[in-house]
Structure 1
């Protein structure tokens, strides 16, 4: 479970301010935080309205068009996607340049056909000088006007062409793409848009915006949260929700979110310390009823800096994951308990995974009550440095053949044990543990496998694993925020495995392209529930930064089964 503090050596007061990004404090309502997506959006809107586009046709083979909008892929054959775009060029139709030609700076003339005199808008990435070109031909219009993952910020130049078929000679421009074709006669205001450098973002694969056919098609979802402040059952929950798991049994959905309960009259920062595990039910995944409280944390802060038994090791409780144990004919719940330090980052530290068993036998025991059976994985002599000060930070078991594997996570890693307990680095990672039975004993796999970085090099959080009908395993997870020191996808991600050990590079699902984006920060998915005909339900927690309360959302997606073949090779 991600901690709210960031990787900045600021005083604790500023750290508490910045913690609104992740798990908790959002007391800066109505204000722009420097470097935030909110502020950047305001910067983009200082320009004039979108320039008027003109229709054209591509007559050269090997080129295709794209829309100059957020997530748009600007080069074919490489995952470089738009994260920020100046309003003047937003929505225009551009031409993808093949990445291999861009890399070698070799381009055969591009043939385009225009119906009227036009200006072709060329985005040149970085400080490539075009002084050697005719300056009257290449007119610079916008500086730092396009942010693309993995590439320098782009400057926009315009080149005029008459109507008819024209050859666009692009050799020598360095790394570039064409972001639009606009009518020749219109007022164009020159300015510096001041968008950030795209090299702050790693490249990643966005479903529907890459050269690959997407595995998931986003179908529909409510245009607002399905569990929100003021709804029945939310009484006493100051800060809303975070991760956990949702399952469907005999047509009924059972959701076990982390409730950021907090205390009335206590600042929002405490919402993520005084937590509890709730049980909610619904027959449609839209209208929810709260049934009970399974666990409540103490909310007590630690007395020492290290992992000391004098501290309350159940100060904060998160991420209840129910798994049905067929051998025991009972539900087993796995949840996370933290020690919490009020001043040291990460304040959520030294996580321990508890195992609980339903008192009632059979599937109907899902709602509890549960009795604790003990800790199955915790910090100790078998810990690995990448688990860091926060680990163990989540746990999800899944069965592979006759064996059980479990994703467990860590964060704020140590380079070596000499850095314990406070000298931490960056990253949220996952590894695998194994057991012969669900109840354990569980053992970490060694560092030849852990941490698993094939999914993402430095951020995977709270993965939940399902097995698809063709036998492949799929993990869905929180892909991490953008802004506030992070430049991550801010989307739900997924990874595929044939054997549970080796996992594919993450793909990210841009729900906001089909559902009204009521959130600023996408957080944790709680399920991928099959509904038949390849349709799945996803429940997710997300954050609206203007509010203290973090709601729950829902979306339906459809799996394109013909795409699965690429993961079976």
Structure 2
């Protein structure tokens, strides 16, 4: 928690050379202003905006009165005075962190008005200034930034916005397009509604919708292998997570989909013991099917997750094991199968680490780094602090790590504790990474960045990480696709692909959740790669 008392100053403006755009989301009338004797830049007060230059603190909750105002981005450790010139008498809106006592000669107009990651809640005061040039420093020596000004005769009605403490969002995170660095992906847009939703053709018998899996493109056809949360009619929604299917869907545009077949069907049988016991059905739930084409074998391999399922212990998905299967049809066109099981490639056992937790090996995705060298992301969740906590006493955390092999067939060996788990991407939440290569040879992993919901305070966006060698991975960047796509979801979940379409354009198919529905739909968005920005980013890896 930041103990120093920081302050904000909010500026709402009109015009271009003398101020910036007017706020259209409140009744507060903007005043004009001009920055004097400095090269500070303005920025729009909006969700995900970074309020300090050179920092990762960004806005995740914002009062409607403040949306669309223009701020001045100051460094975290500001030593230069900020001078502003006003054409008329104004009220400068000052936001204060950790409000221990009121500001002298100021009116409190908004309480808990902003949530900024890694920082305390913000209360907003109005301070009057006369016409003319003023140094903005309302009797504080600590850091402040400028976010808005209204005319002095404006009546400001007090309100408590009741937004939570930004320290709940720990750590802070970088949102693509909302930091000092150039974004490598531009959000072009996509479907403003789910591409597959309840009642559409092919969804019969799928009570709970979709989550995870992979989409690949063969020729001009997209092939999707999602986890179908099938459940049963008349059975509670919890069971959707237990009785699952792996479906095969096809599309020509990644928007209109047709269900072709069922690749695997889970048993949906609950465990009879609490430990990892062979008496339990270890294929009670099946998830996260990842098809990968093996050029050497000239056939598709599938890697998928099978769980034991507890009815009473969190997490209900326990002791995950990764199976490998092969298409019985050779060649790239054999992607739809049928598939035959070959065996388990990685599972809980003597080589497991406590951080893999009760959930066991919860996902797997292999990728090639040299002619005879492969790495594979595997994951774990609900960690044990020590093995003495096995099997019921778990913590929270969703981690990924790496295994290695000389071939896609295996055997796969976990890398040691000097590498695993990989916390450089995010210290405690990465789910279902899928790896591919960008045009310059850089590895990219796209993954679920974690929910803002269910008691979690995570980015609620899909994310990506970069690597030069496939071993060392960068800090995650998160994609705010709702800036170009109508937000039909409450909780963003898993990207299933990053498919190149030519001209540096990529298609992403993703799973997300509308909390008003039992059925979890699928969506689609397109992004464009900025190669110059990528080159700059790669230099820093």
TM category (shorter chain) comes to over 0.9
Q: Is the 8 A contact 1:62 1:98 kept in 2?
A: no
Unaligned runs of 5+ in 1: 1-47, 102-106
Q: How does 1:215-226 map to 2 (within 5 A)?
A: 215-226=184-195
Residue 124, structure 1, aligned to residue 96, structure 2 = yes
The aligned residue for residue 276 of structure 1 is 245
TM-score norm. by structure 2 comes to: 0.93
The aligned residue for residue 110 of structure 1 is 82
What's the secondary structure of 1:165's corresponding residue? strand
Residue 385, structure 1, aligned to residue 362, structure 2 = no
Distance (Å, rounded) in 2 between the aligned partners of 1:534 and 1:60:
41
Q: How does 1:434-453 map to 2 (within 5 A)?
A: 434-453=404-423
What's the secondary structure of 2:148's corresponding residue? strand
Residue 495, structure 1, aligned to residue 465, structure 2 = yes
Q: Is the 8 A contact 2:404 2:414 kept in 1?
A: yes
Cα distance change, pair 457–149 in 1 and its aligned pair in 2 (3 A)? same
> Could you give the per-residue CA deviations for residues 112-153 of structure 1, whole angstroms, max 9, x where no partner exists?
22233221111111135455xxx22x3222222111001000
Residue 247, structure 1, aligned to residue 213, structure 2 = no
The aligned residue for residue 7 of structure 2 is none
Q: Is the 8 A contact 1:128 1:173 kept in 2?
A: no
Distance (Å, rounded) in 2 between the aligned partners of 1:59 and 1:248:
55
Residue 153, structure 1, aligned to residue 121, structure 2 = yes
Q: Is the 8 A contact 1:109 1:170 kept in 2?
A: no
The aligned residue for residue 162 of structure 1 is 130
Q: Is the 8 A contact 1:77 1:211 kept in 2?
A: yes
The aligned residue for residue 98 of structure 1 is 75
Deviation at 1:51, TM superposition (A): 2.2
> Could you give the per-residue CA deviations for residues 486-513 of structure 1, whole angstroms, max 9, x where no partner exists?
1100000100000011000000000011
Q: Is the 8 A contact 2:176 2:185 kept in 1?
A: yes
Q: Is the 8 A contact 1:79 1:203 kept in 2?
A: yes
Residue 174, structure 1, aligned to residue 142, structure 2 = yes
Deviation at 1:50, TM superposition (A): 4.7
Q: Is the 8 A contact 1:412 1:424 kept in 2?
A: yes
The aligned residue for residue 154 of structure 2 is 186
Distance (Å, rounded) in 2 between the aligned partners of 1:164 and 1:535:
50
> Could you give the per-residue CA deviations for residues 236-269 of structure 1, whole angstroms, max 9, x where no partner exists?
1111000000011111100100011111111111
The aligned residue for residue 312 of structure 2 is 343
The aligned residue for residue 558 of structure 1 is 528
What is the count of residue pairs matched by the alignment?
Answer: 513
Distance (Å, rounded) in 2 between the aligned partners of 1:385 and 1:339:
18
Q: Is the 8 A contact 2:368 2:375 kept in 1?
A: yes
Deviation at 1:174, TM superposition (A): 2.8
User: Which of 54, 63, 70 is the equivalent residue of 1:77?
Assistant: 54
Q: How does 1:311-326 map to 2 (within 5 A)?
A: 311-326=280-295
Deviation at 1:66, TM superposition (A): 1.7
Residue 144, structure 1, aligned to residue 112, structure 2 = yes
Q: How does 1:256-405 map to 2 (within 5 A)?
A: 256-402=225-371, 403-405=373-375
The aligned residue for residue 497 of structure 2 is 527
Deviation at 1:95, TM superposition (A): 1.7
> Could you give the per-residue CA deviations for residues 38-77 of structure 1, whole angstroms, max 9, x where no partner exists?
xxxxxxxxxx945222232223424221222211111111
What's the secondary structure of 1:141's corresponding residue? strand
Distance (Å, rounded) in 1 between the aligned partners of 2:87 and 2:404:
64
> Could you give the per-residue CA deviations for residues 158-216 of structure 1, whole angstroms, max 9, x where no partner exists?
12223343322356253433221112222111233221110110210001111111111
Distance (Å, rounded) in 1 between the aligned partners of 2:461 and 2:131:
42
Distance (Å, rounded) in 2 between the aligned partners of 1:50 and 1:126:
27
User: Which of 155, 180, 192 is the equivalent residue of 1:211?
Assistant: 180
What's the secondary structure of 1:100's corresponding residue? coil
Distance (Å, rounded) in 1 between the aligned partners of 2:390 and 2:324:
27
Q: Is the 8 A contact 2:60 2:115 kept in 1?
A: yes
Q: Is the 8 A contact 1:93 1:181 kept in 2?
A: no
What's the secondary structure of 1:208's corresponding residue? coil
Deviation at 1:91, TM superposition (A): 1.8
> Could you give the per-residue CA deviations for residues 341-394 of structure 1, whole angstroms, max 9, x where no partner exists?
000001100000000000000001000100000000000011111100002000
Q: How does 1:457-472 map to 2 (within 5 A)?
A: 457-472=427-442
The aligned residue for residue 456 of structure 2 is 486
Deviation at 1:562, TM superposition (A): 0.6
Alignment root-mean-square deviation, CA: 1.4
Cα distance change, pair 376–386 in 1 and its aligned pair in 2 (3 A)? same
